[in-house]
């Protein structure tokens, strides 16, 4: 019975009544099991962290690669657009130049014809005035009189 009293001060209520493990032993076992479980969970967390880091790195590489590819495609399209625009501008410039040359040529031809007609009219008028000086003077006086009457009103 002295064993029962010796164990009576311990925290195990059944310490004096059974031959099983003590509360201290059970607590040690629980601590050991909790430590093992914590270590196991820590290892799993580390594995998940490593896997997440790898996934993030992979996504980063894929995104960088796709961004680079998109940049290259955009650059190629921009160059193609620029060359097409330059070519079209050259075509329009050439067409406008041809059109301007045609207008210039037509205007020169028209100017020559007008100048020739004006010379002919001048020569014809001079001849008429030399052949009929009295008529021309009387006609000029009549026209001057009419212009004077109109200017008074």
Distance in angstroms (rounded) separating the CA atoms of residues 87 and 147: 62
pLDDT for 21 beyond 50: yes
Per-residue pLDDT averaged across 117-122, rounded? 95
The count of domains in the chain is: 1
Q: What integer best gives the mean pLDDT of the chain?
A: 87
What does the chain come to in residues?
153
Structural domain range at position 73: 2-152
How many CA atoms lie less than 13 Å away from 132 in the CB half-sphere?
A: 8
Distances (CA, A) of 80 to 58, 83, 119, 138: 33, 5, 58, 78
Residue 120 φ then ψ, to 5°: -65, -45
Q: Specify the pLDDT at position 18.
A: 53
For the entire predicted model, the pTM comes to: 0.41
What band does 133 get if pLDDT is binned at 50, 70 and 90? very high
Helices 23-131/133-152 angle, 10° precision: 130
């Amino acid at each position: 019975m002295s064993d029962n009293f010796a164990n009576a001060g311990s925290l195990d209520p059944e310490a004096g009544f059974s031959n099983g493990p003590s509360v201290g032993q059970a607590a040690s076992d629980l601590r050991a099991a909790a430590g093992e479980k914590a270590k196991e969970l820590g290892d799993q967390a580390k594995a998940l962290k490593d896997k997440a880091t790898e996934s993030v790195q992979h996504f980063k590489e894929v995104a960088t690669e796709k961004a680079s590819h998109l940049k290259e495609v955009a650059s190629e399209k921009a160059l193609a657009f620029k060359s097409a625009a330059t070519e079209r501008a050259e075509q329009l410039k050439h067409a406008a130049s041809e059109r301007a040359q045609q207008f210039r040529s037509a205007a020169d031809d028209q100017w020559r014809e007008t100048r020739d007609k004006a010379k002919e009219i001048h020569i014809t008028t001079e001849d008429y005035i030399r052949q009929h000086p009295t008529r021309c003077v009387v006609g000029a006086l009549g026209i001057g009189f009419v212009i004077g009457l109109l200017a008074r009103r």
